[in-house]
Amino acid sequence: MARPELLILDEPTNGLDPLMQQVFLTTVEEAREHGQSVLLSSHILSEVERVADLVAVLQGGRLAASGPTRELRRQAAQRFHITFAEGQDVPLDALAALDGASAVERRRPEGKHMSSPSSEIFRRGVQIQKRTLIAWSAALVLLALSVVGAWPSMESSGALEDFSTGLSPELAASLGVDQIASASGYLKGNLYAVLLPLLLGLMAVTTTAALTGGYEEAGRLELLLALPVARRQVFLVCFLCVAFGLVLTSVLVWLSVYGSVVSYDMDVSTGGVAAVTLTVALLAVLHAGIAYAIVGFGLGRGPALGVAAGVLVVGYLLHGIAPMSDALEPLANLSPWEWALGSDPLVNGVPWGGVALLVAVSAVVVAAGTYAVDRRDVKNA
């Protein structure tokens, strides 16, 4: 193969899959080592940083900056937080006069502030999932209102007395309808035993996969990585956006159920409603963490959806069906559904052991995904 002295490459990796991108960049590095000059244009910062010795940045058709790659990165805007001892004078004028300082501001020490890049990523993440969040929240609130709203007519008609007739006690318990004639049993069987955990879990899985894996596969992650922020921080903030949406939706559902329970004078503990809503929300966060970890290991949006949704369904089956068999009953303790709902928090309050397990496992899977994403290549569109 001929070795021309000059190679001119315009967006050469566009359309290549990640494996071929790496093969191509290795070829460019080999050409550079053989003394060939390479003129490469690209909007993908990671590949520019890998193969380029000198970089020129064009903005609006004009040369905005140029120089060695390391020098340009060193000159990138950085934000420093300096903490002074209480009572010590803060030399704002002296700090503002430092070479390269563009702005100096004083903040009171009431609390910690999220850095500007993280705030921008969080704002974008919330903006991206706004429509999805509104749709999910509205659907789950309407579900809760319709379930609780049907209670007065169902109670007065006596239809619930024979609802579980014909079902074995084990099957009725697995479906949450073993005590459906009571107010708490009605809420459990029609909302908290299956429907709400399943739907909130699916919301967690789909939004996490879209905001992390989907964002990366669409090539938009490169734009966020252009900010002065670590890659792991970008992914963590995206996960926090999902967690924020789950918390907000759970609070809206809780307010809807709480208001309805009070309005219809149902014999249900309002503390129990808060407890079961909390455990269902933590169950959803755990499955969001599983989807996050799958994306963190580079498997993409599709596998994240499949694996996390599969864990959600298998967990329910272990929780609901395993107790029907003496041989399988111990497996129920492996299910996150059992940790969240096994002790009937609607009646018995917060299951602190289950909450601890949900939080601990969520932290582990999120930490694993964060560790993995910092040690792999970012996919490009």
pLDDT in tens, 110-126: 544 444 567 777 887 78
Give the helix ranges, DSSP H, for the chain.
18-33, 45-51, 69-75, 92-96, 116-128, 130-149, 151-157, 169-175, 183-187, 195-208, 215-217, 221-225, 231-263, 270-296, 301-320, 336-341, 345-348, 352-373
Cα-Cα-Cα-Cα dihedral sign, residues 362, 368, 371, 376: negative
CATH number of the domain to which 18 belongs = 3.40.50.300
- Give the model's confidence band at 178: pLDDT under 50 very low, under 70 low, under 90 confident, else very high: low
Distance, in Å, from the CA atom of 78 to the CA atom of 70, rounded to the nearest integer, reads: 15
**Domain assignment of residue 23, given as a range:** 6-75
Domain C-terminal end among 75, 106, 128: 75
Identify the residue with better confidence: 213 or 272.
Answer: 272
Q: What pLDDT is recorded for position 134? A: 93
Q: Total structural domains in the chain?
A: 2
Domain C-terminal end among 75, 96, 131: 75
175 with 279, same domain? yes
Q: What pLDDT is recorded for position 114? A: 44
Domain C-terminal end among 75, 97, 132: 75
Residue 379 lies in a domain: no
258 with 328, same domain? yes
Residue 83 lies in a domain: no
φ and ψ at 42, to 5 degrees? -160, 150
48 with 164, same domain? no
CB of 339 within 8 A of CB of 354?
yes
198 with 56, same domain? no
Helix (H) or strand (E) holding 67: strand 62-68
Q: Are strands 37-41 and 6-10 parallel, antiparallel or unpaired?
A: parallel
361 with 247, same domain? yes
Q: Are strands 62-68 and 54-59 parallel, antiparallel or unpaired?
A: antiparallel
62 with 198, same domain? no
121 with 184, same domain? yes
135 with 230, same domain? yes
Distance, in Å, from the CA atom of 145 to the CA atom of 257, rounded to the nearest integer, reads: 7
Residue 320 lies in a domain: yes
Question: Which residue in the block uniquely carries the two structure tokens 């909007």?
Answer: 43
The answer, yes or no, to whether residue 255 has pLDDT greater than 70, is yes
- Give the model's confidence band at 184: pLDDT under 50 very low, under 70 low, under 90 confident, else very high: confident
69 with 123, same domain? no
148 with 271, same domain? yes
The answer, yes or no, to whether residue 44 has pLDDT greater than 90, is no
Distance, in Å, from the CA atom of 107 to the CA atom of 282, rounded to the nearest integer, reads: 34
pLDDT tens, 87-101? Answer: 667 777 777 777 766
